[in-house]
Amino acid sequence: MKKTLQQKAEHILDSNFKTEGEFTIPCENLYPFQWFWDSGLIAIGFAHYDMQKAEREIKTLLKAQWSNGFIPHIIFHTETDSYFPGANFHRSDLHPESNPKYKSTGMTQPPVTGFVLKEIYRISEVKESTLKFIETQIDKVYDNHRYFYENRDPQNEGLVYIYHNWESGTDNSPIWDDIWETMNPPEYDFERRDTTHVDPEERPSKREYDHYLHIIEIAKANNYNDEKIAELSPFLVQDPLFNAMLIKSNESLIELYNLIGGNENKIKQLKKWQQKSKTAFNDKLFDEELGAYVHYDLRNEKALRYLSSSSFAPLFANIPDTEKAETMVDVMMEKFGNENQYLCASFDPTSERFNPKKYWRGPVWVNLNWMLYNGLKQYGFNDIAERVKTDTITIIENNGFYEYFDSRKEMHKDNKAGYGGNNFSWTAALLIDLLNE
Ligand code: 2M8
């Protein structure tokens, strides 16, 4: 019997689940470990048909938390040399508060865990027992937020910085080109692994990797000390996607703590952070001329004035007022919403830097589409939300469960327009959520 799309998605998630470590890899070969934001989004998919796995995914992730609240971006549960740079390059042990039980990177990723717990609760058919599970984990997520506000906001603005493009999740967005222009790293001698698994045309260049490694070398030379990184890292950015994830997660933590009861002090603190963050986000990151949110380069004190799918993610976190939201949606439809494009390209299709085949430089990503869909619905833009949903389902149906997809509709006629890794976990997980909401 032919498998339905949902069955195919479940099969992918189950195949990528690793019983020996109780976590799910993003995909075979290319990404063989546990990634922070992947795991969170994967748990949302599992919650629809296997709550135990959803809970295990989060539990395993949070077990690797450091004693200062930090959650690493990759946890190297297993030994394999099919990925570069691995545990021996990252050396998380250099940080005095790193977790001695788990090798990891010394950088983080968008803090999705708060809203993921809330999503799991929304999906659950046994709310009481799910809430009990949440109760065992929620303080760890709170500690993670405290880590961010206490260590990643040197000017006490309510906006946290990222110090590496790999922390953004949108790894080689054209936005970072401006930062690479301010750097001149050495040419490192290393063996890439990603380009043995997928077409190099779809991945970052060797020179880009030199920049990525150089920032880590600086952080390592300072034992991943946050203050030193804030002082010395050539990459120091307030990212609207990253901060929107934190704000959305604050909102979810407040709701969950209210359901659990007690914890008045934590709720009070979360509300304080939330108020401050939302105000600063709107004051500093909204670009009136472009009509959407942009990144801010804290190292060089200037806005990075480009439109990307990250510019619209704040809708998901209820950050813009309705007037700003309308402006943003108009801009999105004008620049990204042409009938010959699938929604939503990861970078402005009208820009010279747009590349619809290469990683985060233009293709459509299912995780960002999922946030956009939910954000648009929250503000009542139901028709556009439906287009995002239909586009997402169509590109997966036509191509398979790829990591990213060409945004140009013409490319979907005769060619395979899915790129990067295949049988990709968050593509499967979030499709399940879209099919069942
Ligand atoms: C991609 O990033 C990793 C490094 O973290 C890589 O290219 O090696 C990004 O798309 C990132 O957002 C994602 O979490 C990761 C695993 O799916 O892959």
Neighbours of 431 (CB within 10 A): 24
Neighbours of 118 (CB within 10 A): 20
302 φ/ψ angles, rounded to the nearest 5 degrees: -155, 150
Instruction: Determine the Cα–Cα distance for residues 283 and 305; give it in Å rounded to an integer.
Output: 15
104 φ/ψ angles, rounded to the nearest 5 degrees: -155, 180
Point out the ligand 1 atom lying closest to the alpha carbon of residue 74.
5
Mean pLDDT of the chain: 97
Cα 116 to ligand 1 centroid, rounded to whole Å: 19
DSSP-derived letter for residue 319 is -
- 125: confidence class by pLDDT, cuts 50, 70, 90: very high
Q: Which residue has the higher pLDDT, 221 or 190?
A: 221
Point out the ligand 1 atom lying closest to the alpha carbon of residue 26.
17
* Residue with CA at minimum distance from ligand 1 atom 11: 169
Cα 366 to ligand 1 centroid, rounded to whole Å: 14
* Residue with CA at minimum distance from ligand 1 atom 7: 171
Q: What is the pLDDT of residue 2?
A: 77
- 234-291 pLDDT per residue, tens: 999 999 999 999 999 999 999 999 999 999 999 999 999 999 999 999 999 999 999 9
Residues with CB under 6 A from ligand 1: 26, 31, 35, 37-38, 73, 166, 169, 171, 194
Q: Catalytic pick from 119, 297, 403, 433? A: 403
Q: What is the pLDDT of residue 81?
A: 84
Q: What is the pLDDT of residue 381?
A: 98
Q: Kindly write down the DSSP assignment for every residue of 383-431, as one continuous string.
A: HHHHHHHHHHHHHHHHH-S-SEE-SBGGGGTTS--EESSSS-HHHHHHH
Point out the ligand 1 atom lying closest to the alpha carbon of residue 424.
17
* Residue with CA at minimum distance from ligand 1 atom 10: 169
Cα 202 to ligand 1 centroid, rounded to whole Å: 13
* Residue with CA at minimum distance from ligand 1 atom 3: 166
- 363-396 pLDDT per residue, tens: 999 999 999 999 999 999 999 999 999 999 999 9
Cα 171 to ligand 1 centroid, rounded to whole Å: 7
Q: What is the mean pLDDT of residues 398-418?
A: 93
Q: Catalytic pick from 139, 171, 177, 208? A: 171
Alpha helices in 312-407 (DSSP H): 322-336, 366-378, 382-399
Please say if the pLDDT value at position 142 is more than 90: yes
Q: What is the mean pLDDT of residues 69-83?
A: 93
What does the block give as tokens for 229? 């990184």
* Residue with CA at minimum distance from ligand 1 atom 13: 169
Instruction: Determine the Cα–Cα distance for residues 323 and 135; give it in Å rounded to an integer.
Output: 37
Residue type present at position 217: E
The closest alpha carbon to 26, from 18, 40, 11, 16, belongs to 16
**For a substitution probing ligand 1, which of 171, 198, 361, 427 has the most ligand atoms within 8 Å of its CB?**
171
Known catalytic membership, residue 171 = yes
Q: What is the pLDDT of residue 416?
A: 86
Cα 265 to ligand 1 centroid, rounded to whole Å: 36
CB 106 within 8 A of CB 64: no
Q: What is the pLDDT of residue 202?
A: 85
- High-pLDDT (> 90) share of the chain, %: 93
Q: What is the mean pLDDT of residues 206-214?
A: 96
β-pair partners for 35: 74
Q: What is the pLDDT of residue 329?
A: 98
Cα 115 to ligand 1 centroid, rounded to whole Å: 20
Instruction: Determine the Cα–Cα distance for residues 300 and 298; give it in Å rounded to an integer.
Output: 6
Q: Which residue has the higher pLDDT, 101 or 21?
A: 101
DSSP-derived letter for residue 92 is G
**For a substitution probing ligand 1, which of 31, 104, 216, 308 has the most ligand atoms within 8 Å of its CB?**
31
Point out the ligand 1 atom lying closest to the alpha carbon of residue 194.
8
Point out the ligand 1 atom lying closest to the alpha carbon of residue 204.
7
Q: pTM of the prediction? A: 0.98
Cα 16 to ligand 1 centroid, rounded to whole Å: 16
**3-class DSSP state of 297:** strand
Please say if the pLDDT value at position 414 is more than 90: no
Q: What is the mean pLDDT of residues 107-132?
A: 98
